[in-house]
Amino acid sequence: MTNQNKSKKIFLLYFLLAIGFLIFLSVMLLTVLNSRHLPSLYTKESSKAQRGSIISADGFHIATTKKLYKAVVNTLYIDPQKKDLFVQLFSIYSGIKADEITKKLNKRNGVVVLSYHIPEKEAQYLKKLSYELRRYKVFIERKNPRTGLKMLHGLSIIESGESREYPYGDLLTPIIGYPQKIEDDGYTRIKGVKGLEKKFDAELSSRGDGSSRGPRDVNGYIILNKDSFTKSKINGLDIKLNIPISLQIRVEKMCSLMKEELRAKEVMIAIMNSQNGKVITMASSNRFLPKSIKRSDYPSLNSSMIEYSFEPGSVIKTITFSLLLDKGLVNPYDLVNGHNGRFRIGRKVITDEHKFDWLSAENVIVHSSNIGIAQLAQKLSGSEFYNGLKSFGFTYKSTPDLAYEKRGSIPDAIKLENEIYKATCSYGYGMRANLMQLIRAYSVFSNNGKMVTPKVVNNFTDEFNRDIVIEEDEQIQVIKSSTATRMKKILAKTVREGTGKKAKTEGLYIGGKTGTAHIVEKGRYVKRYNTSFIGFVNDKTHKYTMGVVIVEPKKSQFAAQTAVPVFKKAVDIMVEEDYLQPDII
């Protein structure tokens, strides 16, 4: 009996031990399977790459990117006894008024965004402040009602986006263009809309964000050691221009003043190195502030140098004459009948502002005779004239660095067989071109008959200051070198004796051609005009092709009184800025 009782007790003991062991195993299994709300031993940080800058030839940042941060705090974790201390310190570090911070904190309990637009420098200071606030226990732990675990949330400084900055206001803005903001997973990025910002959006855009991962300390900051991993961010490329800010500022100011003086809609000018195509100035009187565009700015958003296509008028006479000269169809000393200022071709009567009886073929250009060039142009066949204008670059895009160029138009070869079309096109009517196309065409005369491509951008630069060179476009031989030399002399004579006299500057070799043309509205010519002066200005070591267009000047319809004085003022600025050295003893 005693042994039976003893066996039962032993069995009960083993049974209880077995039950206890099963309970222990069950608890361990549940612990393994259930998610545990333990803080991670690792943390990660990210760093957003940013858009590249646009930099002038003399090293000034015309367009640059500023990172923006937002400051976030959870009011439930601020120690009520130290709330005023938090407000005062945050105000000092951020520059935001204390009253404004208090108002935001009192507005709601929980997560509060104190600012969305904290600059990068202030953000770094606030990150240090966040660490100090934790150290001095301005924030207190709270129990999470769902998990029952204690948590602590301090001041968080988070990258919120980027802002495009233009330190020089409206400088070069029709060329630089402007951007728009786009949201990328809660982060505000910049995308180009017009100008260089649009054309080189892919190159300027950031190419890869940075990130770090590793063990965390008690404050949640990453510990950089052998167990951590870091990937560097890759910023967008910087664009280095051929345009120096010092020259651009002065020429833009002059354009603005001349717009008022001439009572014009717009004054624009471009200056290009005749030998390599580097554009050193593209200035317009019509500019805008990219960060505060108004409705009245809308017409100025376009770069008129390439986006304003117009009938160029008499500046095309030089092109027509060079085609005749290059094909041996005319001699500069041939005599041309001026018909006393009035000449009929078919149903059209052509007139000259100044009446001539007879004049030499080259003086047709010097004194800008419509009648003279209309007669000479008849020597060209329709295909010769058409292909000749095409070879000078008309109807083709002129400036690859800019977007939305209007290529203009010329009559086709069949139309140019007609004597009236041939006559009117010879002095720049019935065709359309933009300023940069004209400058590219005129570069032929200062570059031994070869045409260069206008280059606004010199090179790209990466974040390691390594230059990425842009390939040079091949220079196209348009006319013979001897023809170009003769045309240069005729253009220089036009400045000495003809319609371009006001462009003359002692000690410099200057040539050019004036142009005046009616404006077309709804298919009809109206009594409003565009005037222009396209030419070159050289010293012993420098050669520049320069063009001026005045849109609808009210002061005068003549280029000699509008476009030529602007050209002259630009030359004077170039001399003062040491881009030209007159040979004067």
Between CA 457 and CA 56 the distance in angstroms is: 9
Between CA 30 and CA 360 the distance in angstroms is: 107
Strand ranges across the sheet with 210-215: 42-47, 210-215, 229-231
578 class by beta-carbon count within 10 Å (0-12 exposed, 13-18 middle, 19+ buried): exposed
3-state DSSP assignment of residue 139 = strand
Between CA 403 and CA 306 the distance in angstroms is: 9
Q: Can you give the residue ranges of every domain in the chain?
A: 53-202, 245-289+303-456+474-576
Closest by CA to 530, choosing from 521, 538, 539, 522, is 521
What CATH superfamily classification does 245-289+303-456+474-576 receive? Answer: DD-peptidase/beta-lactamase superfamily (3.40.710.10)
Sequence-ordered list of residues with C-beta below 8 angstroms from that of 125, at least 6 positions apart, any chain = 93
Q: What is the pLDDT along the chain (585 residues), one digit of tens a residue?
A: 556 666 766 777 677 777 777 777 776 666 555 554 445 565 566 678 889 999 999 999 999 998 888 889 888 888 888 889 988 998 988 888 999 999 988 888 888 888 888 888 888 888 888 888 888 888 888 877 777 677 778 888 888 888 899 999 999 999 999 999 888 777 888 899 999 999 999 999 988 776 666 676 555 556 666 666 677 778 899 999 999 999 999 999 999 999 999 999 999 999 999 999 999 999 999 999 998 899 999 989 999 999 999 999 999 999 999 999 999 999 999 999 999 989 999 888 999 888 889 999 999 999 999 999 999 999 999 999 999 999 999 999 999 999 999 999 999 999 999 999 999 999 999 999 999 999 999 999 999 999 999 999 999 999 888 999 988 889 999 999 999 999 999 999 999 999 999 999 999 999 999 999 989 888 788 889 999 999 999 999 999 999 999 999 999 999 999 999 999 999 999 999 999 999 975
**CA 147 centroid distance within chain:** 54
Closest by CA to 417, choosing from 387, 453, 444, 378, is 378
Strand partners, 111: 74
Q: Please list, residue by residue across 342-360, b when 16 or more beta carbons sit within 10 angstroms of its beta carbon and e when fewer do.
A: ebebeeeebebeeebeebb
Q: Please list, residue by residue across 560-572, b when 16 or more beta carbons sit within 10 angstroms of its beta carbon and e when fewer do.
A: bbbbbbbbbbbbe
CATH class of 53-202: alpha beta
Cα pseudo-dihedral 553, 555, 560, 566, rounded to 10: -70
Q: What is the DSSP letter of 427?
A: T
Contact 487, 446 (CB under 8 A): no
